[in-house]
Amino acid sequence: MSEVQDRHTDGSDDKDYCHVCLTVKAKSYCIECKICLCQSCVGHHKILTASSSHTLLEYYELSPIDLAGHDEDIKQCQIHPNQEVLLYCQDHDALCCCDCMVNHRPCIPKYITNISKDFKTEKDYANLLLDFQSFEVEIKKYYTNIDDLLEKLMT
């Protein structure tokens, strides 16, 4: 792979490139195969019988966690154990795999990766950060008081 890395003059990482041809920027990600694909390879992937039914996501929609391949972090669907949970249905407050979506057709489920990206822009997240910062200030005050008390005891 190091020779492939040398070909990326734009400073991109290997993970940004198609895992099949290795020289073209990734356009999609196959959930089942866990590989990135360029536009040309996506076409071939859809034609092949073995992969024609695979779910492809736009590469730009994926988080670094998705691309890191941490299989142990992936939740399996409780109804369809051979499927990964990818979607969240707000209407039913339910985590869904692709097979579950049959029961959620009138709903508008969202990809979990997209929801997690939006989380940091939410007001609740900003408030949580402010709370943590104020806790940090308070804790530092206590440490300072402890240090002062220890110094008095030593003298």
Which of the residue ranges 2-6, 8-12, 42-46 would you say has the lowest mean pLDDT? 2-6
Spatial contact of 25 and 17, defined as CB atoms under 8 Å apart: yes
Report, as an integer, the average pLDDT of 27-33.
Answer: 85
Residue 8: count of CB within 10 angstroms of its CB: 15
What average pLDDT does the chain have? 78
Report, as an integer, the average pLDDT of 13-19.
Answer: 75
pLDDT at res. 123: 84
Which pLDDT band, with edges at 50, 70 and 90, does 55 fall under? confident
Q: CATH second-level architecture of 1-70?
A: 2-Layer Sandwich (3.30)
Spatial contact of 28 and 46, defined as CB atoms under 8 Å apart: no
CATH of domain 75-119: 3.30.160.60
DSSP 8-state code for residue 17: B
Ordered by start, the domain boundaries in the chain are: 1-70, 75-119, 122-155
- Domain 1-70 matches domain 75-119 at the CATH topology level: no
Which of the residue ranges 45-54, 73-82, 95-104, 112-121 would you say has the lowest mean pLDDT? 112-121
What does 58-123 look like in DSSP terms, one character per residue?
Answer: EGGG--HHHHHT-GGGPPBPSSSTTSB--EEETTTTEEE-TGGGGGGTTS--EEHHHHHHHHTTSH
3-7, 14-18, 24-28 — most confident range: 24-28
Interval 109-146: pLDDT, tens: 888 877 776 677 778 888 888 998 999 888 888 888 88
